[in-house]
Structure 1
């Protein structure tokens, strides 16, 4: 059972940026102002993530090119993890490398087998500037790595090679949300 207020209830749902949008392919800027604007952005990110039925969302997926992401994601033991990280740094990856299905709110309706480590640690800050360290295993580790990739200007399709990449990009080009040119 979740404790405390559910984030995002005061946020507004923002439009999602889709594969091919330049904001998804450029590294995001560090957050320097830990004020009310940042708190409102985090609320909006939660509201947008929940509206899209996601488990994680990076700020640049809503057009804000700053280093912030939110998550509400289970690990492989069905323990739910919910929070946010400002100026995150992926400081540890380990365990086994597993290929598992991965999707993205910026590539709606598509997924592909993507290799990720099954353990990850991210360090950063809260909206109030307090240090935070988030450790994830299994699916939650995948989520942490995925969101950090976004803030570095990458999407999961960038990690694919060969036929997996070609197939995903063909499907993206034919998707109803696509302009016909894969990113």
Structure 2
């Protein structure tokens, strides 16, 4: 297993829809193991294959709720259904989100509070996950990556402009930008 470099906003793989996984091969299993290791080293609560430069519809997730119960897994070729968003503006404290591909920043973003995700696991078995709260936020965030959408693309105009200024100042918004957890000194 290996910790992989995480692509940063501007890399084309992050801004294009990912392809479906056709076959669960040894290469896919190795990729998923590396994704878990990378996600844990970052540390992050989710990681999509495009974030490590692989344009496939795969994401890992890892979150422990208030009760400490671990919630960890991988989904291949996910489909996402969600309840409509509640109207209003996001709470700056409770709905702030970050992203390993836009490291070191957090912005408020309204997401649906409940989702259903279906797909397959590494054994090719069907998976169906219905979650709410932060788990629902994680599922939506990672699913967006598979469609070439970063969470900063969903921000309101003011926060979107701020994110663009940060990206420009840091030299992002161009190909070949990445960071490696445990190697590069970034707070994601």
- Please tell me the TM-score bracket, short chain as reference: 0.7 to 0.9
Corresponding residue number in structure 1 for 2:162: 167
- TM-score with structure 2 setting the length: 0.83
Q: Please give the root-mean-square deviation of Cα atoms over the aligned residues, in Å.
A: 1.8
Is 1:138 aligned with 2:128? no
Paired with 1:76 and 1:93, the residues of 2 have a C-alpha distance of 23
Paired with 1:121 and 1:112, the residues of 2 have a C-alpha distance of 24
Corresponding residue number in structure 2 for 1:42: 32
> Offset of 1:144 from its aligned partner?
0.2
Distance 1:75-1:22 versus aligned 2 partners, 3 A rule: same
Q: Secondary structure at the match of 2:131?
A: strand
Q: Secondary structure at the match of 1:116?
A: coil
Distance 1:96-1:80 versus aligned 2 partners, 3 A rule: farther
Q: Is the deviation greater in 135-144 or in 146-155?
A: 135-144
Q: 1:1-183 residue pairs with structure 2 within 5 A?
A: 11-75=1-65, 79-94=69-84, 96=86, 99=90, 100-175=95-170, 178-179=171-172
| Unmatched tracts of structure 2, length 5 or more | 175-188
How many positions carry a matched residue from both structures? 169
1:109-161 C-alpha deviation (Å, 9 max, x unpaired): 01110110111111000011100011221111100000000001100011112
Paired with 2:67 and 2:31, the residues of 1 have a C-alpha distance of 30
Paired with 1:42 and 1:66, the residues of 2 have a C-alpha distance of 11
| Unmatched tracts of structure 1, length 5 or more | 1-10
> Offset of 1:37 from its aligned partner?
1.2
**Contact persistence 1:35–1:127 (CA under 8 A):** no
- TM-score with structure 1 setting the length: 0.86
**Contact persistence 2:85–2:111 (CA under 8 A):** no
